[in-house]
Amino acid sequence: MPAQVIKRRSRGFICINAHPEGCRLNVAQQIATIKAAKPERSAGMRSALVIGASTGYGLASRIAAAWGFGAGTIGVFFERPPEGSKTATAGYYNTAAFHEFAQRDNLPAGSINGDAFSNDCKRQTIELIRRDFGQIDLVIYSLASPRRTHPDTGEVFNSALKPVGAPFTSRTIELDAEKVVPVTLEPASEREIADTVAVMGGDDWNRWIEALLEADLLAEGARTVAYSYIGPAITWPIYKDGTIGQAKHDLDVTAYRLNSRLSSTISGRACISVNKAVVTQASAAIPVVPLYLSLLPLALRARKLDEGPIEQMGRLFFDHLIAGAAEDVDDAGRIRLDDRELRADVQADVSMLWPNVTTENLRAITAFGDFQRDFRRLFGFEVDGVDYDAPLETDVKC
């Protein structure tokens, strides 16, 4: 296609296009962050499989494995390629940039673009690993999807963001209108709870690990980590105690079961990493969370504690997954990267400001402007150093 100028297009709050160069620079900046944080010696990881590898924590994990350890990486994701004058999705451009930089730095990289829930995607991934990578030392499960088609029955499950047991009323930001408004969510039905667990719980993670074990593609001592979130009490009715929380509980149970399975077969380990709240396409859609994410950074920055996905993954990989790292988990066996977010003084600041935010003072007393910018950066827009008036090729090969 001829080069074209890419300006941000939105439907409501959501960006419906992406900027290739902005995405490319985002990836380059994350690589630089990991290289700067890398310890003198980082060993013990030759290859890593990241399921959900194109954005957010999954992309940051793939970058940490590759440039933090020199590991060969396999990424699994579901992204739309460019078509005619339409841009690809941001995750597609992120992956194209990842491959460009990995090739430059002689880091093995392979990718599968498909439905990670499907049996066919698992078969393709297994064939790629067997052909080009040998056995895997680390499997990261970072899949975020609103729906799942069961690989055996074809039944479609749709997740729901709802409280359980009783209605929940709180405050949120109406993102299109930039208004602070009350929101009431009705409780989920039993079917909605079950569907959310089917999409976001541990069944698919378990299927991936069992498929890799059966194919003899997990190295001795291999680890697998799935990502989760708990959050503060102010969000619990919609998150920890809601439908998502039910799914995360199922993920915890799966981790316990997988840990027993891996330890007895390959001396391996399975665990959950509870990560910090960050701006993502998924988090922006959860009621209450945009307001919380407009307040949290202020409290963290005041104490020089704020982290994005790449800084969080630097901590995970260099403090917890590096060879010889001491096991540092909570009573439930989970790695807690949300320790800074949940500090009492940080949450006290959030709770103090929460009831005082109005539409009129939204930008004055919160970091809502930063929330908007961070969201748009996910799509490659408002990235420093990009000339958004320059035409560029959108048909980038991934």
d(CA 151, CA 76): 16
Contacts of 234 (CB under 8 A, 6+ apart): 170, 288, 292, 347, 350, 351, 354
Which one from 57, 227, 229, 239 is the annotated catalytic residue? Answer: 239
Question: Sign of the C-alpha dihedral, residues 353, 356, 359, 361?
Answer: negative
d(CA 210, CA 263): 13
**Known catalytic membership, residue 239:** yes
d(CA 393, CA 4): 6
d(CA 307, CA 310): 8
Contact 303, 334 (CB under 8 A): no
d(CA 293, CA 172): 10
Q: Is 116 helix (H, G, I), strand (E, B) or coil?
A: coil
Q: Is 139 helix (H, G, I), strand (E, B) or coil?
A: strand
The string over 87-98, giving b where at least 16 C-beta atoms fall within 10 Å of a residue's C-beta and e elsewhere, is bbbbbbbbbbbb
Q: What tokens appear for 55 in the block?
A: 């954005």
Please count the other Cβ atoms lying within 10 Å of the Cβ belonging to residue 362: 17
Strands 156-158 and 147-149, sheet pairing: antiparallel
33 vs 37, 67, 228, CA distance in Å?
6, 10, 23
Distance of CA 375 to the CA centre of its chain: 14
What residues act catalytically? Answer: 239
